[in-house]
């Protein structure tokens, strides 16, 4: 049975390089992983503690999607050296209720893409901090997709072998972690 990986892009943009990198990761994944790209981010309402008892359907769908997955793969843009507000907002919802959230005990990997030479390096660090604080185990190192607007070819796959191997490696790391946890 393939490991179910929920891929969450922090960008809402149709031409997002981060979403495109997740699509490439999905295409490169072998038969031991099924990478599904989540498209519900825009439907997550702004966080408000007053609505915690009865959140809207966007929040409920987020939580259900996280719960149904074996592992999470995030691709985050970098906005002003940090993660985009819409991604932080979704994680704030997912992190509640405190101590009993759908994020507790989850496995995730973080990658990031930017047209700059740094590849969303600082944003990835911030995202890892938020995830770790929410009880998520983040596997692997950061994967900075720099000059991201040139990184993928017409076929949507990485132009260079290094990025191809790195993306495949991220998915493999998640698969191995989930399998090790299952065996434990």
Site of interaction with ligand FNR (CB under 6 A) = 11, 13, 16-18, 77-81, 113-116, 118, 120
Question: Could you tell me if 134 and 102 are in contact, meaning their C-beta atoms sit under 8 angstroms apart?
Answer: no
* Residue 83 C-beta: closest distance to ligand FNR, Å: 10
- Which one, 3 or 21, has the nearer CB to ligand FNR? 21
- Which one, 16 or 95, has the nearer CB to ligand FNR? 16
State how far the Cα of 107 lies from the Cα of 48, in Å rounded to an integer.
Answer: 26
* Residue 96 C-beta: closest distance to ligand FNR, Å: 26
- Which one, 70 or 126, has the nearer CB to ligand FNR? 126
- Which one, 116 or 133, has the nearer CB to ligand FNR? 116
Rounded to the nearest 5 percent, the helix, strand and coil shares of the chain are: 45, 20, 40
* Residue 156 C-beta: closest distance to ligand FNR, Å: 14
* Residue 91 C-beta: closest distance to ligand FNR, Å: 17
State how far the Cα of 59 lies from the Cα of 63, in Å rounded to an integer.
Answer: 6
| Region for residue 81 given its phi and psi (left: phi exceeds 0; alpha: psi -120 to 50; beta: otherwise) | left
Pick the closest to residue 8 from 50, 60, 69, 57 (CA basis).
69
* Residue 37 C-beta: closest distance to ligand FNR, Å: 13
- Which one, 17 or 102, has the nearer CB to ligand FNR? 17
Gyration radius of the chain's alpha carbons: 16
Cβ neighbours of residue 132 under 8 Å, at least 6 residues apart? 138
């Amino acid at each position: 049975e393939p490991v179910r990986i929920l891929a969450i892009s922090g960008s809402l943009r149709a031409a997002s390089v981060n979403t495109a990198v997740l699509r490439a990761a999905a295409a490169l994944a072998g038969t031991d992983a099924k990478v599904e790209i989540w498209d519900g981010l825009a439907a997550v309402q702004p966080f408000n503690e007053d609505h915690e008892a009865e959140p809207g359907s966007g929040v409920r769908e987020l939580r259900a999607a996280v719960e149904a997955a074996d592992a999470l793969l995030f691709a985050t843009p970098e906005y002003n050296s940090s993660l985009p507000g819409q991604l932080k907002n979704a994680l704030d919802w997912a992190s509640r209720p405190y101590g009993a959230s759908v994020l507790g005990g989850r496995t995730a990997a973080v990658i990031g893409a930017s047209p700059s030479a740094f590849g969303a390096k600082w944003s990835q660090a911030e995202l890892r901090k938020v995830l770790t604080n929410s009880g998520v185990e983040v596997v692997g190192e950061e994967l900075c997709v720099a000059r991201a607007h040139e990184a993928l070819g017409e076929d949507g796959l990485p132009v260079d072998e290094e990025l191809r191997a790195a993306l495949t490696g991220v998915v493999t790391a998640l698969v191995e972690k989930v399998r090790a946890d299952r065996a434990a």
